[in-house]
Amino acid sequence: MTDISCILGNISREEFLAEYWQKKPLLIRNAIANFEAPIDADELAGLALEEEVESRIVVEKDWQLQHGPFTEETFASLPAEKWTLLVQAVDLWVPEVAEILAKFDFLPQWRIDDIMVSYAADGGSVGPHFDYYDVFLLQGAGKRRWQIGGLSDADCPIVPNTELKILQHFEPVDEWVLEPGDMLYLPPKIAHHGVAIGECTTFSVGFRAPAVSEMLDDLATELLSGIALPHHLIDPPLTPAMANSQISPAHLASVRELLLATLDNEKLLGEWFAQYMTAAKYPDLVDITGESRTAVLLDKTSFTNGAKD
């Protein structure tokens, strides 16, 4: 069994959280000593044949994106180089991959999303891009060259005519070649580009970072289900001059006050957020995957979503 007792190298957990987490990248050589990837390319391809498993293939020619499940014929038709297979949530299907998550117990467990595993043929890449979430990129088999750029956002131009959000302009400011057991931490919105040197696998430990629009949509659904007492908009003090089609600043202030008062309900917000962040990644598959997520509020109320006893 691979020893995974330490993953931050010479950096203490306190130093990492204070100086690097969501602030700046960190390269960790030999993060897992003598690391042997718990799943190889053939086994990963086997998972991608299964209907229940979320998978994608990226072919660099024209940046083609294909969604699984795949067939053996799909893999036989791929070029000799410059393509990548990505399989989500491999930790749900391979217990040995799930064991890697124990290394990240210095972070809130309800923030962890999954471990995506990718296989790349020589030169394989998904293009320069950025993510809105934190990610640890642990090198499995083979080597990959990682380049990082500066901060990016939704205003950055992307390559047209592809589903992939590839940056049109990418200027690397640093680069490293990662070998088995090496790991690169990237905070949100840091542009990065990884290219396989020969065949390689990479284990990407990603963290949940929902957009505010997604959270408001889910919270609104919960409010509509009746978890809170109904509150309705009332007018501010009116004057005859306000009897027109214009919405006054006073009305907007009333709307803001009503919404903020709803969000200021700590019990309601806490219970909703705990349930939201522990929702199973694949709710329809919990009977198969056994996925279970737990969070505990400060008042010791525990919330668990996923597999049932």
- Owner of token pair 């590839």: 166
Q: Given this model, what pLDDT does residue 230 score?
A: 65
Is residue 3 scored above 50 in pLDDT?
A: no
CA distance 46 to 72: 9
Shared-domain flag, residues 190 and 216: no
Q: Lowest mean pLDDT: which of 28-37, 64-73, 134-143, 289-298?
A: 289-298
Q: What's the mean per-residue pLDDT of the chain?
A: 93
Share of the chain residues as helix, strand and coil, in percent rounded to the nearest 5: 30, 25, 45
Q: Given this model, what pLDDT does residue 46 score?
A: 98
Q: Give the alpha-carbon dihedral of 100, 178, 183, 135, to 10 degrees.
A: -100
Q: Given this model, what pLDDT does residue 5 score?
A: 45
| Domain presence at residue 2 | no
Mean pLDDT confidence for 131-156: 97
Domain boundary among 183, 207, 231: 207
Shared-domain flag, residues 301 and 194: no
pLDDT tens digits along 245-259: 788 899 999 999 988
| Domain presence at residue 66 | yes
Largest CA distance in the chain: 78
pLDDT tens digits along 167-221: 999 999 999 999 999 999 999 999 999 999 999 999 999 999 999 999 999 999 8
Is residue 309 scored above 80 in pLDDT?
A: no
Is residue 134 scored above 60 in pLDDT?
A: yes
Q: Given this model, what pLDDT does residue 227 score?
A: 63
Angle 127-37-106 (CA atoms, 0-180°, nearest 5)?
85
pLDDT tens digits along 271-294: 999 999 999 999 999 999 999 999
| Domain presence at residue 24 | yes
* Percentage of residues of the chain with pLDDT beyond 70: 96
Q: Given this model, what pLDDT does residue 245 score?
A: 79
Domain boundary among 207, 242, 267: 207
Shared-domain flag, residues 196 and 152: yes
Q: Are 91 and 97 in contact (CB under 8 A)?
A: yes
Q: Given this model, what pLDDT does residue 231 score?
A: 77
